[in-house]
Amino acid sequence: MRAVSLLALAALAQSAAAFAPIPARGLPARFAAAPLSIKPVPRTRAGLQRTVASVSARTQDRSVGERLASSAEVAVSKIFPAGAGWQTASIVAGKMGLGSTSLAFFLTVGMGDLLGVFIGHTLYQILKKKLTNDASIKVRDQVQVATLLGGAAFFSGSTWQPALNAATALGLGFNGAFLAVGVACTMAFYAGLRVFRHLLSPTMGAVERNSYANLKADTQLSIAIGAATAFFVGTDVSFGAANWLAGIVGIADGLSDVAGICLAGLSTALGFMAAQLAMSVGLAKNKCWIDPQPEFSN
């Protein structure tokens, strides 16, 4: 009986051995004996890796602070002077008896915008060169860049008042006028950039010729300028309580000319920085016009 039991146990052990896991070839026994684990499908894992890499590139490689610092420099040197120049020219035009619906008025304020950008950019770069001893700043080149930007500012500055007049004639409220003026001036500034690139690039080495790559950069910059001009509508207090910017940049009757000029510059600077904040957060590294070396396909 005991022999039969031993034989039975031996047979059972032999049967169990037949179903024992065989170590995988080339792998240590401890890995072969490990419990079964569920592994991600290669395609799913690759997709996850791409997603993580994309998020990492957009959050780690991009420096929002650096972009905003550069944007603030642009706002101080060009955008504030543009709004201040426009407002100064409008005061001069008013004293000359030019109505806000006349072509002469449109051209006068456009010239004020142009001079604000040109003078602001040039003086800022000269001061920056003297204070920092930055040998890379070539005054001649900066004058050429100022000419390009000033020419584009003339287009948008001349468009602002007729765009606002049209919005008012259509019965649009503040928000409608805000949007209409912003869109109109975006297109005007963009057209100015492309026109002046074509006119200036043959003789000015600091001005790039029109290309598909700088078309993208010009588009982004024009959108930021459009936002600046939209915020400039906030200086018009005739919209009453609907003007949600009036408490910040509204130019009320009885305000001094100097105060009005400063509020005009502030309004454009605020609009520009609002657009730049959105671009700084939303665009990947080297895909924003403000980046030192933007990488746009040509």
For 146-161, write each residue's pLDDT tens digit. Answer: 999 999 999 999 999 9
H-helix or E-strand containing 232?
A: helix 212-232
How much is the pTM?
0.79
Position 254 in a domain: yes
Domain-embedded: residue 189: yes
The DSSP element (H or E) to which 161 belongs, if any, is helix 139-169
Report yes or no on 4 lying in a domain: no
The parent domain of residue 92 ranges over 66-282
Size (the chain), residues: 298
Residues 6+ positions from 83 with CB-CB distance below 8 Å: 116, 228, 232, 264, 265, 266, 267, 268, 269
Biggest CA–CA distance in the chain, Å, is 129
Residue 32 within any structural domain of the chain: no
| pLDDT, tens only, 85-134 | 999 999 999 999 999 999 999 999 999 999 999 999 999 999 999 999 99
In a domain, 253, yes or no: yes
How many structural domains are present in the chain? 1
Q: How do residues 229-284 score in pLDDT, each as one tens digit?
A: 999 999 999 999 999 999 999 999 999 999 999 999 999 999 999 999 999 999 99
